[in-house]
Amino acid sequence: METLGGAEFAPQMTYLNTSTCGLLPRRTVEAVKLLADELAAGRPGGAGEWSAVTAARQSFARLSGVDEGRVAVGGSVSVHVGLIASSLRPGAEVLFPEGEYASVITPFTVRGDLKVRYAPLEHLADAVGPGTYMVAFSSVQSSDGRIADMPAIRAAAAAHGARTLVDASQSAGWLPLDAASWDFTVTGAFKFLLCPRGVSFLTMTEEAQETLVPIHAGTYAAEDLWATTYGRIEELARSARRFDEPPAFLSYHGAKESLALLEETGIDAVHAYDTALARRFRDGLTELGHRPVPGDSAIVAVPGLGDRVPGLAGAGVIVSERAGNLRAAFHLYNTAADVDWVLDVLSG
């Protein structure tokens, strides 16, 4: 059966677990294999091509609606968040949703000198106050797929002069992202962006960039990229590249291909496709007497069914359990037949 991803994917089971890890397109696998073979043979150019990192940065910039100069590359969301957390003054208040993903919260709380508050996701905008320095939250919650009220949170933050940090790891790749509207966004690219692990993006406004110190600056942070290999870097990159981590080239050679595929497909098309499959699943669950978390997310969570995950795996259906929920995520390699099969298995 044809999928939106066409012949780019070759799943051997009903894979509904993109919220944990996305499947790699064929072209991505080939790019990683090619570089790995070259490295095994003795590659004259070293560990990989910087041009692949640049191409991935440019693709993500286009997908997220920002200039490439506002994008830093790295390997994990927690490192990006840690960089932001290190810049806050002692006593600054940071507001999170209740049940937010640990990588968004912990880099702030380990400091021990910040004020942290929590509010239910649906009331996060209402909880922003005059003392709030930053609102940090995921655009789509990992545990249950709920979508944050982005316009309301943005308006509340603006009204109180609070900075914003959005984790788009569970949304980038299926939900259109306007990164330019937020002070910072962080995105682990190994989920719906279909990249190998080791690819992560940080975006920042030009104003927000001035609040950060590039505490892990290395050779890739120089304005003249290869001019300062030894000794102190005299001029850091004027763009967000000053906050780059040294890239994992195998991962970024793959990321170049995965992000190009998503650009070719179009995020609006992916959004329509993924959410249609998720609605079909929600409707089917309701007919079976289950009550999924409401919404129009590509991620569907069913409270109380987390214990069905092992049995589903035995039937060739890969989903996950989070906070007691059965969590299924739909993406461009899934079909209506996948939805119907998992419903058949759940029905017994």
pLDDT at 313 over 90: yes
CATH architecture of 6-24+266-347: Alpha-Beta Complex (3.90)
Rounded average pLDDT over 107-120: 98
Question: What pLDDT does 226 receive?
Answer: 81
pTM equals 0.96
Least confident of 22-31, 35-44, 148-157, 216-225: 216-225
Residue 2 has pLDDT above 80, yes or no: no
pLDDT tens-digit readout, 180-207: 999 999 999 999 999 999 999 999 999 9
pLDDT at residue 268 is higher than 80: yes
* Structural tokens at position 342: 């998992």
SS (H, E, C) 34-46: HHHHHHHHCCCCC
Q: Please, what is the average pLDDT of the chain?
A: 96
Per-residue model confidence as pLDDT tens digits over 144-160? 999 999 999 999 999 99
The pLDDT value given to residue 136: 98
* Per-residue 3-state assignment (H helix, E strand, C coil) for the chain: CCCCCHHHCCCCCEECECCCCCCCCHHHHHHHHHHHHHHHHCCCCCCCCHHHHHHHHHHHHHHHCCCHHHEEEECCHHHHHHHHHCCCCCCCEEEEECCCCHHHHHHHHCCCCCEEEEECHHHHHHHCCCCEEEEEEECECCCCCCECCHHHHHHHHHHHCCEEEEECCCCCCCCCCCHHHCCEEEEECCCCCCCCCCCEEEEECHHHHCCCCCCCCCHHHECCCCCCCCCCCCCECCCHHHHCCCCCHHHHHHHHHHHHHHHHHCHHHHHHHHHHHHHHHHHHHHHCCCCCCCCCCCEEEEECCHHHHHHHHHCCEECEEECCEEEEECCCCCCHHHHHHHHHHHHC
Asked if the model's pLDDT at residue 46 lies above 90, the reply is no
CA separation for the pair 156, 59 (Å, rounded): 30
Taking the C-alpha atoms of residue 230 and residue 321, their distance in angstroms, rounded to an integer, is 48
CA–CA gap between residue 195 and residue 200 (Å, rounded): 9
**Mean pLDDT for the stretch of residues 292-319:** 97
Q: Is the pLDDT of residue 269 over 70?
A: yes
Task: State the distance between the two ends of the chain, measured CA to CA, in whole angstroms.
Answer: 24
Which pLDDT score is estimated for 325?
96
How far is residue 238's CA from residue 21's CA, in Å, rounded to a whole number? 33
The confidence score (pLDDT) of residue 344 equals 97
Residue 179 has pLDDT above 90, yes or no: yes
Given the candidates 3.40.50.261, 3.10.20.600, 3.40.640.10, 3.20.20.70, the CATH classification of the domain at 29-264 is 3.40.640.10
pLDDT tens by residue, 61-80: 999 999 999 999 999 999 99
Lowest mean pLDDT among 8-12, 212-216, 224-228, 302-306: 224-228
Per residue in 226-257, pLDDT (tens digit) is 877 889 999 999 999 999 999 999 999 999 99
Q: Is the pLDDT of residue 1 over 80?
A: no
Domain ranges across the chain: 6-24+266-347, 29-264
Mean pLDDT of 12-21: 97
